[in-house]
Structure 1
Amino acid sequence: MKALVLAAGSGTRLRPVTHTGAKQLVPVANKPVLFYALEAIAQAGITEVALVVGPSSDDIKDAVGDGSAFGIDVTYICQDVPLGLAHAVLISQDFLGGDDFLMYLGDNFVGGGIAGFAEEFRRTRPGAQILLTPVPDATAFGVAELDGDGRVVCLEEKPAVPRSNLAVMGVYLFSAQIHEAIREIKPSARGELEITHALQWLIEEGREVRSCLHSGYWRDTGNVSDMLEVNRHVLDAATGEIAGEVDAESRLTGAVLIAPGARVVRSDIEGPAVIGPGTVVTGSRIGPHTSIAADCEITDSRIDGSIVLQGSTVRGVPAVTASLIGRHTTVTSAPAGDTAHRLVLGDHTRVTLAR
């Protein structure tokens, strides 16, 4: 079995952070969300992996390399224009050949991994298999209707009146039958080749499309609120480790990870939280549920429930909460009152906040 990881999306819902970087590389708990997907694929016993990349291909290639760090062998396939998930499969046929394959959307976070999902497919060998999860409001998702044996009988994309509460997650398993289906479908109204249309074609042709229910944690990290929620979830399971320097005037409570080369001076850090290598925290209160990346400077500030990306500075800011701060960003305070600020800042940004 091979794997196809889709990482060509432009990340419009995460702008301005993704104007200058791939959305799949935005970190949660100081690790790019794409890395969690690659680790899950390796844990499922799949080693031949193709990454479908777009405009941010150089960033992804620099981060992932040949895949050896994950125990996989990575091939890169360029999708110049995002013309749909099925189009990504279409342009990857030379890599896929006639083999079974897993397709994984690179900005999805699936708690508990996918090894069981893949093993079920290997055992039953249907034409296709999709991963489903119950959601409170299915109108924002692709929705599956099942028969009594767990076979998919209908798929709808963002229906006004859903037939079920089962949302289609961004993880699929396919036999070579999917290539025939993709050749038969036409572009949708938005001009894309939809994978749901290809799956529906298989169903209508009498091919077996099965499902697995995922009862664990899952998020599509395509927007800021979901990115922060995944960061919170991952940090809740983290353990603390002090590999950097913490002075005697500082206080750490809960699970706090201080990376090598980081320094904490006269500061309180409440876990779960992670401080990246080379970062200096001085006279500040950090956490809980906060990730500070490498080479940042946090001085005389309070940050909680947030993600701060590499090389950023936060100085003299009394309250930053539920924020995603981009790379090489500077946030400082101007004289005035004391308020809480909610920020989504792009790379190389400078902001002065009124107190």
Structure 2
Amino acid sequence: MKALVLSGGSGTRLRPITYTSAKQLVPVANKPVLFYGLEAIAEAGIVEVGIVVGETGEEIRAAVDDGSRFGLKVTYIQQHAPLGLAHAVLIARDFLGDDDFVMYLGDNFVVGGIAPLVDGFRAERPEARILLTKVPNPSCFGVAELGADGQVVALEEKPQRPKSDLALVGVFLFTPAVHEAVRAISPSDRGELEISDAVQWMIDRRRDVRCTIISGYWKDTGNVTDMLEVNRSVLERVEAAVDGTVDEETEIIGRVRIEAGARVHGSRIVGPAVIGAGTVITDAYIGPFTAVAEDCRITDSEIEYSIVLAGASLTGVRRVEASLIGRHVTVTPAPRKPAAHRLILGDHSKVQISS
């Protein structure tokens, strides 16, 4: 069995962060989202992985390399335009051959991994298995309609009037039967070959398509709110460890991981939280569910329930929360006089200002 990991999206909902970084490499608890998926694939006993990449392909290649750090053998497949998930299957035909495969969206996060799902698929071997979960906003997802027997009867991509609250999770399992389906369908109104249309094609022809409704934690990390929620979920399981330097005036409460090379002076850190290597925290408060990446500087500031990317700096700021702060960002107080805000913001930025 092989795996096909989709990492070609542009991440428009995470702009401006994704103007300069692949969305699959935005870190959760100081580890890129994509790495969690690759680890889950390895834990399921899969070795051969094809990663579909787009315009951020070089960055993905640099981060993952040949996959050996995960126990994987990685092949890169270039997708020259974002033409849909089924299109990714279409262009990966040579890599996939006649093997069964799991398709995993590189910006999705499934707590508990996929090993039981892969084992079950290997044992039962339907032609396709899709994963579903209940969501409060189904119109934002592919939505499944089930019959009285619990089997999938229809799929619809981002419907205005959803027929259920069961959304497609970004993990699919297929036999080679799916290749006929992706060749048969036409582009949707969005101009993409939708995987939901391919699965619907199989359902209409009475192929063996089954579903599993998962009750565990799943998130599509396509926006800041979901990124922060996944970060919270991962930090819930962080193990306390102090490998950096912490002075006697610092108070550490709860599960806090301070990585080697980090230095903390006269501060208060309330876990769960992670402080990256080379970061310096001085006279600051780091609150729960905060991940600070490597080589940051946080001085005389307060921050909680946030993600701070590498090289960022916060000085004299009260209080920052529910924020995603990009690489090498500098955050400082505005001058008190005149009472005005000075902003330098990229396209599609979102800013909230206390007046």
TM-score, normalised to structure 1, is: 0.94
**2:273 aligned with 1:273:** yes
**Count of aligned positions:** 348
TM-aligned CA deviation for residue 237 of structure 1 = 1.4
Partner of 1:243: 243
What amino acid maps onto 1:293 in structure 2? A
Q: 1:138 to 1:289 in 2, by over 3 A?
A: same
Q: 1:10-29 counterparts in 2 under 5 A?
A: 10-29=10-29
Structure 1's unaligned 5+ residue stretches are: none
**2:188 aligned with 1:188:** yes
Partner of 1:170: 170
Q: Secondary structure at the match of 1:66?
A: coil
Q: 1:245 to 1:201 in 2, by over 3 A?
A: same
Q: Calculate percent identity across the aligned residue pairs.
A: 63
TM-aligned CA deviation for residue 163 of structure 1 = 2.5
TM-aligned CA deviation for residue 142 of structure 1 = 1.1
Q: Secondary structure at the match of 2:333?
A: strand
Partner of 2:120: 120
- Structure 2: distance between partners of 1:186 and 1:222: 26
Q: Secondary structure at the match of 1:45?
A: coil
Partner of 1:135: 135
What amino acid maps onto 2:74 in structure 1? V
Partner of 2:93: 93
The 8 Å contact of residues 133 and 168 in structure 1, kept in 2 or not, is answered as: yes
**2:296 aligned with 1:319:** no
Q: 1:101 to 1:90 in 2, by over 3 A?
A: same
Q: 1:55-94 counterparts in 2 under 5 A?
A: 55-94=55-94
Q: Secondary structure at the match of 2:178?
A: helix
Partner of 1:222: 222
Cα-to-partner distance string for 1:11-62 (whole Å, 9 max, x where unaligned): 0000000001100000010000000000111111111001101111111111
The 8 Å contact of residues 244 and 260 in structure 1, kept in 2 or not, is answered as: yes
Partner of 1:198: 198
The 8 Å contact of residues 261 and 278 in structure 1, kept in 2 or not, is answered as: yes
Cα-to-partner distance string for 1:158-194 (whole Å, 9 max, x where unaligned): 2233222211100000111111011111111111111
The 8 Å contact of residues 325 and 346 in structure 1, kept in 2 or not, is answered as: no
TM-aligned CA deviation for residue 230 of structure 1 = 0.5
Partner of 1:263: 263
TM-aligned CA deviation for residue 272 of structure 1 = 0.5
Q: Secondary structure at the match of 1:191?
A: coil
The 8 Å contact of residues 267 and 283 in structure 1, kept in 2 or not, is answered as: yes
- Structure 1: distance between partners of 2:263 and 2:116: 41
The 8 Å contact of residues 327 and 346 in structure 1, kept in 2 or not, is answered as: no
**2:131 aligned with 1:145:** no
25-34 vs 121-130, which moves further: 121-130
What amino acid maps onto 1:65 in structure 2? D
Q: Secondary structure at the match of 2:332?
A: strand
Q: Secondary structure at the match of 2:192?
A: coil
What amino acid maps onto 2:172 in structure 1? Y
Cα-to-partner distance string for 1:218-238 (whole Å, 9 max, x where unaligned): 110000010011101111111
Cα-to-partner distance string for 1:120-169 (whole Å, 9 max, x where unaligned): 21111111100111123322221112235543211112223322221110
The 8 Å contact of residues 325 and 345 in structure 1, kept in 2 or not, is answered as: no
TM-aligned CA deviation for residue 239 of structure 1 = 1.4
Q: Secondary structure at the match of 1:216?
A: coil
TM-score, normalised to structure 2, is: 0.94
- Structure 1: distance between partners of 2:79 and 2:152: 29
- Structure 1: distance between partners of 2:145 and 2:51: 30
- Structure 1: distance between partners of 2:275 and 2:286: 9
- Structure 1: distance between partners of 2:241 and 2:23: 28
- Structure 1: distance between partners of 2:105 and 2:2: 14
TM-aligned CA deviation for residue 108 of structure 1 = 0.3
Cα-to-partner distance string for 1:53-112 (whole Å, 9 max, x where unaligned): 111111111111111111111110111100000000111001000110000000000011
Q: 1:150-165 counterparts in 2 under 5 A?
A: 150-165=150-165
What amino acid maps onto 2:285 in structure 1? R
Q: 1:234 to 1:344 in 2, by over 3 A?
A: farther
- Structure 1: distance between partners of 2:354 and 2:311: 23
What amino acid maps onto 1:284 in structure 2? A
- Structure 2: distance between partners of 1:253 and 1:344: 36
Cα-to-partner distance string for 1:293-346 (whole Å, 9 max, x where unaligned): 000111110011110000111111111111101001111113439xxx9x9977
- Structure 1: distance between partners of 2:322 and 2:354: 18
TM-aligned CA deviation for residue 8 of structure 1 = 0.4
- Structure 2: distance between partners of 1:137 and 1:276: 35
The 8 Å contact of residues 323 and 344 in structure 1, kept in 2 or not, is answered as: no
The 8 Å contact of residues 16 and 344 in structure 1, kept in 2 or not, is answered as: no
The 8 Å contact of residues 275 and 294 in structure 1, kept in 2 or not, is answered as: yes
What amino acid maps onto 2:245 in structure 1? E
Q: 1:291-330 counterparts in 2 under 5 A?
A: 291-330=291-330
